[in-house]
Every structure is written in structure tokens, then in C-alpha cells.
Amino acid sequence: MIPLCRPSIGQDEFKKIQEVLISGWLTHGPFNEEFEESFAKYIGVGYAQTINSCASALFIALKALNITGEVIIPSFTFVATAHAVVLAGAKPVFADVDYNSGNITAQMIEPLITDKTQAVIPVHFSGQSCKMDEIVELCEKHKLVLIEDSAEAIGATYKNRKTGSFGIGCFSFFPTKNMTTGEGGMITTNDAELAHKIKVLISHGIDKTTNTKFPWQREAVTAGYNLRMSGILAGLGMIQLQKLDQMNAKRREHAKYLSDNLSGDIETPKETNGCHHVYQMYTIKVKPEIRNAMVEELKKSGIGVSVHFSPAVHQQAYYKNYNHENLANTQKLSESIITLPMFPDLTKDDLDYIIKQTNDIFKKLNN
């Protein structure tokens, strides 16, 4: 069985976790601070804050900025993006995406902007950045907060700038992502005041810079949450970050091999001009009439394929009463997309088997 994804974990990760355990700093501490500083430098921002998930990162970014109005997001995303908006007390407004990239565009955002719109959350789908210069310009024009859902695009760039550096970046370190801490995430920003507020909010609302009578006193300055990342996971993240560019290069190499050898009648992913795709997922598109059967056949052949994303968020029970007009590309994508295995440790034999089975099954079903 070739799994959909497998984390690249080696002896360096085991040694680092052992170092953390021996140190006694199992909760947020010096390992988190080291990880945060390294990650901020890697992304090219002033500040980074470890957190327990990307979903929490999205939620806390909205809470920290008191966003309670409308937030424009793509429907073609994992449901956590929408949940973060709702749980923060705001209203999601669903936008369509570009069919070729799966990404939201400024042209699809602008018609949805109203006097109630406060923020936009572009989702960088499958490892490729949205066209951020146009989205940044639009947000500045309408004075909208820009929060990037970069869960699937750690290390991806647009015009040589990394995702998560254009607005407030929210990252996931789930095992399927380009680097992993098991569970975990990160928030990035260039705003020192916002970075401090986020740090307080995720730590029970306790501001450690507040002057108190005794050094052991902890004073809550707001009602906060416990959304911290443990030191163990931060240690794991440090090693994964050091390997990230190498792992992403392997993903790109695998993606090229797949695209070069899959049938020309199968729609393979394309790299948008100005983008450096890091292929958190490798997705193909086939006719909706054969998609489900093809997924089942590939699974039977021992290939751990999946579908991202079907149903789209606006089609799910909780969100059916929110707006979902003119989402034709989202609908088409959710009916035609298939996610093939993608991870750095795929072998040539793995790739050749995926190619042969995909081509053969496609040919059989497409006749």
C-alpha cells in the first residue's frame, strides 16, 4: 500500500525530542522561542508564535483583531477555515476560485466586498500561493485585514516572497503538511503589538510583562485560551524546518515526474506564473462522471488516494444557509479532483506504480 502521505522523520528528530525531554522544558519555553525565531526568519517576518493548530491560528488572528463582520473566504478549502470565522463571531462569505489553480483571486473577491466586510482569508491551495500582489492591493484599497491560510503552502513563494509574509500568516504542522510537529501551527506577522496580543490570548490571557508585586504572580489582562504548543513539538519543528527546503525540493521532483508521465488526457497541476509550488498535495482532474469510480479503483490497487475537497464547504450541512452563489469552478473542482500520494520519501518504484495504475484505470473508465 502506498499511503497518501508519510512524514519524513529520522534520527535527528528522535535526538531533538530526547534533548527536550531531558531538559525538563516540556511546555512552552526556550525550544518554542528558538523555533519561533527561526520560523520568522525563514518566512521573512518580524514575529512568529507557536500555537496548537492552524485552525487555532486563524481563530486567534480574528479574535485578536476583533473581527466580527463579514470575512471573505474560498469555499474550496478545508472546513476549519470557515469554522474559525464562525467561532470568532464573524460571518463567512464564500468566494469561487480559479479552476486551474484552485486559488481565490482578487477578481473573485472584489464583487463580494460590502460595507460589512472586515477581512479576507485567501487559502493557498495544495502548496501554491495565490496571486498575492493583486489581493494585497485590493485589501489595502478597501482597508481590509488580510489573513493568509498557509496550511498547505509552507515554503511556497509568490514573486520570491514566502506565503505568510503578505498578511497575517497561519500555518499547519499536521502530519500531511510539508513539515510536521504532529499537531501544531504557527502565526506570523510584522506587527509587534499584534504579536504580543496573540501571545497573551493563547496563554490564558496572562501578560507576563505586567508588573506585579511578587514574581510568582500571574495577572490575566483579558479572557484568554490555552492554545500553546508544547516544547516537545517545538523541538520536532526545529529539525523539520531545517529539512524543509530539501523536502520541498523532493516534492517538486516527484510532481514533475508524475506530470511528465501521466496520460496527456489527465489534467495535471500547473505552476502559476510567479509561483514556486511546493506540492503539499498533488492533484489531478478527470471527468466528473468517472471521478468516484477512479478513486475507488485506485484504492483497490493499493494507492492511498483521496479527494480535496468534496463536498466544498458551502455544500456542507452547517454552511448551506450561508451565501453560495456563482461558485461554478468550486463545484466543478469538487466533482473532478483526485489527490494522489505525495511525500518526500516516495521511491521511483512507487511513482512508476502510481503512474501505471492511474493511466490504466483512467483509460479503462474513459472509454
pLDDT in tens, 85-123: 999 999 999 999 999 999 999 999 999 999 999 999 999
C-alpha span between 134 and 137 (Å, rounded): 5
Radius of gyration of the chain (CA): 21
Cis (ω within 30 of 0) for the bond into 311?
yes
For residue 162, the surrounding DSSP H or E stretch is strand 161-162
% of residues, the chain, pLDDT over 70:
99
Task: Tell whether the model's pLDDT for residue 323 goes beyond 80.
Answer: no
The answer to whether 187 and 201 are in contact (CB under 8 A) is no
Higher pLDDT, 74 or 367: 74
What rounded mean pLDDT belongs to the chain? 96
**pLDDT at residue 211, as a whole number:** 62
Quick one: pLDDT at residue 215? 72
Question: What local confidence, expressed as pLDDT, does residue 219 receive?
Answer: 85
Share of the chain above pLDDT 90, in %: 94
Question: What are the residue ranges spanned by the domains of the chain?
Answer: 11-240, 244-366
Q: Please report which confidence band the pLDDT of residue 212 belongs to, taking 50, 70 and 90 as the band edges.
A: low
The catalytic residue among 177, 197, 250, 285 is: 177
pLDDT confidence of residue 326: 85
CB 62 within 8 A of CB 120: no
CA-to-CA distance for 51 and 47, rounded, in angstroms? 13
Structure confidence at residue 256 as a pLDDT band (50, 70, 90): very high
Rounded CA separation 41/255 (Å): 27
pLDDT of residue 283: 98
Active site residue 177: yes
Q: Which of 87, 160, 98 is nearest to 123 (CA)?
A: 98
Does residue 267 contact residue 66 with C-beta atoms inside 8 Å? no
**DSSP β-ladder status, 91-95 and 145-149:** unpaired
pLDDT at 309: 96
Average pLDDT score over residue span 199-223: 83
Over range 46-52, report the average pLDDT. Answer: 98
Confidence of residue 183 (pLDDT cuts 50, 70, 90): very high
| Cα angle 119-312-153, degrees, rounded to a multiple of 5 | 60
* pLDDT value for 103: 98
Predicted local distance difference test score (pLDDT) of residue 209: 72
Tell me which architecture the domain covering 244-366 has in CATH: Alpha-Beta Complex (3.90)
Mean pLDDT of 285-291: 98
Look at domain 11-240 and name its CATH class.
Answer: alpha beta
Q: For residues 365 and 28, is the Cβ–Cβ distance under 8 A?
A: no
Residue type, 193: E
